[in-house]
Amino acid sequence: MLKLNFKKFIKLMKDELSTRKPKNRHFSWTVNETKYLNLEKVKRLRQKLKEAKNRALKENKIVPVRDWFMVELGLFTGLRVEEMVNLKESDFHLKESQSSLTVKRGKGDKPRTVYIPETFKNECLFYSDWKEKTITKSDYLFTNNKGKQLTKRALQKSFKRCLRLAGLESRYSIHCLRHTYGSFLYKSSSHNLRMVQEQLGHSSIRTTQVYASLMNEDVKRAVDKIYQ
């Protein structure tokens, strides 16, 4: 009887284990235009925010300038919203031959260097100078007018405001800026997954491979337009 019960116990354990999901199982998903902004939307968003920023500079308003730089930062670095919140002006390295910024505590507390283009370097210098003259001194990049560090929720709400200003769909979250950066970097780097992985700070190349699905979308659009 004891032997029979033991066999039943082993069978029950096997059945239980077979229904559980492995802890390190990799769930595949793809990046499509519901998760990132296409070029037309990127241009529209940037243009509307730039116009709002220029008006704000004349009227001595803070929020539109800060919103503009927040979106530019997301589009040119692909930082996670938590990384944006914790970013400090001292994390930027703009006097070197290749401008960059340091993420001191990325996902999993991993530091990384993110290289930035010359055009965004100039925007960083402008924002730093404006912030020093306009907001109470604080090393944090995103603060309120008293110099207090903004929260993740505050940046998320700011991005929704930016979407409304540009007339874009409210379904997008601030994380779409990271996907947009990864998507366009993947294309501009001739599909260099390793480069995208390092810039985004993915611990596994498998995570970065989601951007490979974009090639399939490009092919689909190309073949749909053939002979037209």
pLDDT digits (tens, 9 = 90+) for 131-185: 999 987 889 999 998 889 999 999 999 999 999 999 999 999 999 999 999 988 8
Is residue 30, in this structure, part of any structural domain at all? no
- Rounded to a whole number, what is the distance in angstroms from the first to the last CA of the chain? 77
Q: What's the pLDDT band for 27 if we cut at 50, 70, 90?
A: very low
**175 phi and psi, to 5 degrees?**
-65, -20
CA dihedral 169, 157, 103, 24 (to 10 degrees): -70
Which residues, 6 or more positions from 148, have their beta carbon under 8 angstroms from its beta carbon? 138
pLDDT (tens digit, 9 = 90+) per residue, 1-19? 444 465 555 555 555 544 4
Indicate which CATH number applies to the domain containing 133.
1.10.443.10
Residue 16 within a domain: no
Query: What is 120-155 written as a DSSP string?
Result: HHHHHHHHHHHHHHHS---SBSSB-TTSPBPPHHHH
Q: Backbone dihedral region of 206: left (phi > 0), alpha (psi from -120 to 50 degrees) or beta?
A: alpha
Active site residues: 80, 107, 175, 178, 202, 211
Split into its structural domains, the chain has a count of 1
pLDDT, position 137: 82
The mean per-residue pLDDT over the stretch 197-212 comes to 82
Domain span including residue 95: 39-172
The closest alpha carbon to 130, from 63, 80, 78, belongs to 63
User: Does a structural domain hold residue 224?
Assistant: no
